[in-house]
Amino acid sequence: MTVKEYILQMNFLNNPSRQDQDAITNGLWAHNDKYHPVDIKPFIINYTDGKGEVIAGLVAQTWWGGLEIQYLWVSEKYRGNGYGKNMMLAAEDEARKRGCHMAYVDTFDFQAKQFYEKLGYSEYGSLAGYAHKFKRHYLAKEF
C-alpha cells in the first residue's frame, strides 16, 4: 500500500499530551540522527528555601556541542543576590564537562538581556512584535 491509499487526517490539538509531542520530536531526532548522533541531555539547577520551595531555577539541555538555556527564573524576593549568575555559571561549567563549546539563550526586552550580556553573551538576532510591543533577543557565547 502507498500513502495515497490511506485516508489522511490533519489534527489540531489544543492540549497535546506528552505522547503527542514525543511522536513529533522523536521523529525529528530520528531524522537528525542520520546526519549526526543526537545526544540531548536535559538538566535543571535550582535553589530551594528552608521549606523546600523552589525560589529560583534554570532549565537547560546540551546537544551537538551547545548549551541551550531554555528557562531561567528567580523569584522577585530573591533577585539581586547572585542566584541567576551562579546558576548560569554552573550550567556553563556542566556544559563544558559535556564537551560543549557554545551556549545560547533568548530573552525579551523586559527581561534579562543586560544580565546575559554581563555574562559574556552577545546578541546575534532579534524579533519584534510579540504581543505587538515586545522584542525577543537571541544571544550566544563561545567557550
pLDDT digit string (tens) for 12-30? 999 999 999 999 999 999 9
- Quick one: cell of 68? 541551550
> 3-state DSSP call for residue 100?
coil
Confirm whether pTM is higher than 0.85: yes
Bridge partners of 67? 62, 103
CB 95 within 8 A of CB 103: yes
As a CATH number, domain 39-142 is 3.40.630.30
CA 104 vs CA 26, 67, 81: distances in Å: 22, 6, 23
In 3-state terms the chain splits into helix, strand, coil percentages (rounded to 5) of 30, 35, 35
Count CA atoms closer than 13 A to 104's CA, side-chain side: 12
Query: Residue ranges of the domains in the chain?
Result: 39-142
Using one digit for the tens of pLDDT, what is the confidence trace for 45-65? 999 999 999 999 999 999 999
What one-character DSSP code corresponds to residue 6?
S
Three-state SS at 40: coil
